[in-house]
């Protein structure tokens, strides 16, 4: 896979993840009128299932981001590549727990033979907020190093990468405060969300531009470096 193409894939996945999780959450909340997402609280099991399926699609998207980024950074930043794929994998698992539990409860009947599974699924639904904020805390910390690697590799403009580091740090802080009982997580998630939308749009159109390509076009390096044929 070419580096530029990989960047476009990451950009598309950044943007689609907003649609999948945000849209899925909206549908689930609409189906249950904001109540706990049990099938018994749902006005429409189809809506509840559709929303949960979209949320599961988000987990596939974020896990794929980690895999694609790993392929791009594994040689230049091997530690960051490994930590970022682990970050995105952990996020995917945690965010998938609630929608997977909802679908399990929808599919299972009320017979005693499924009682243990139903209890486990019910617990996952009840603790969905905790799982979400834990996922965001992990994402925030792991993505700081991801943005730094993109900046030092000149795969993302410096201002965007710095904005990403700041935004993800704020997400991590807000998530920890949310887990501690202070309801500020959504507000402090905004800078990171803005970064993913802006960076997603940039990458979708331009992709990751390798340093060698920037040197060849005279972009992203000083005149002295360009004339010498070497990156800054």
Gap between the Cα atoms of 220 and 116, Å rounded: 58
pLDDT at 231 over 70: no
Digit-coded pLDDT (tens) for 67-109: 999 999 999 999 999 999 999 999 999 999 999 999 999 998 6
Give residue limits of the domains in the chain. 3-228
Digit-coded pLDDT (tens) for 186-200: 999 999 999 999 999
Q: Please report which confidence band the pLDDT of residue 219 belongs to, taking 50, 70 and 90 as the band edges.
A: very low
Can you give the three-state secondary structure of the chain, one letter per residue?
CCHHHHHHHHHHHHHHHHHHHHHHHHHHHHHHCCCCCCHHHCCCHHHHHHHHHHHHHHHHHHHHHHHHHHHHHCCCCHHHHHHHHHHHHHHHHHHHHHHHHHHHHHHCCCCHHHHHHHHHHHHHHHCHHHHHHHHHHHHHHHHHHHHHHHHHCCCCCHHHHHHHHHHHHHHHHHHHHHHCCCCCHHHHHHHHHHHHHHHHHHHHHHCCCCHHHHHHHCCCCCHHHHHHCCCC
CA dihedral of residues 99, 94, 33, 105 (deg, nearest 10): 40
Q: What is the pLDDT of residue 114?
A: 74
- Distance, C-alpha 28 to centroid of its chain: 19
Gap between the Cα atoms of 117 and 122, Å rounded: 8
Q: What is the mean pLDDT of the chain?
A: 89
Digit-coded pLDDT (tens) for 21-60: 999 999 999 999 999 999 999 999 999 999 999 999 999 9
pLDDT at 159 over 90: yes
Q: What is the pLDDT of residue 115?
A: 80
End-to-end, the C-alpha distance of the chain in Å comes to 25
pLDDT at 209 over 90: no
Q: What is the pLDDT of residue 108?
A: 85
Determine contact, residues 218/25, Cβ cutoff 8 Å. Answer: no
Give the predicted TM-score (pTM) of the model: 0.87
């Amino acid at each position: 896979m070419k580096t530029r193409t990989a960047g476009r894939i990451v950009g598309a996945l950044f943007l689609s993840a907003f649609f999948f999780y945000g849209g899925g959450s909206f549908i689930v909340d609409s189906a249950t009128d904001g109540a706990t997402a049990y099938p018994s609280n749902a006005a429409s099991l189809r809506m509840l299932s559709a929303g949960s399926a979209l949320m599961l699609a988000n987990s596939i998207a974020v896990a794929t981001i980690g895999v694609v980024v790993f392929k791009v950074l594994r040689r230049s930043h091997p530690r960051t590549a490994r930590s970022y794929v682990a970050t995105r994998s952990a996020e995917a698992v945690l965010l998938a727990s609630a929608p997977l539990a909802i679908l399990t409860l929808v599919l299972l009947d009320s017979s005693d033979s499924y009682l243990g599974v139903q209890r486990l699924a019910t617990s996952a639904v009840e603790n969905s907020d905790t799982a979400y904020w834990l996922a965001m805390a992990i994402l925030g910390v792991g993505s700081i190093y991801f943005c730094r690697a993109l900046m030092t590799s000149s795969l993302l403009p410096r201002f965007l990468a710095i904005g990403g580091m700041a935004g993800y740090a704020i997400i991590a802080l807000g998530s920890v405060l949310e887990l501690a009982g202070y309801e500020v997580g959504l507000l402090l998630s905004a800078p990171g969300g803005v970064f993913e939308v802006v960076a997603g749009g940039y990458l979708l159109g331009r992709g990751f531009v390798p340093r060698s390509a920037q040197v060849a076009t005279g972009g992203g390096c000083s005149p002295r470096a360009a004339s010498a044929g070497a990156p800054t």
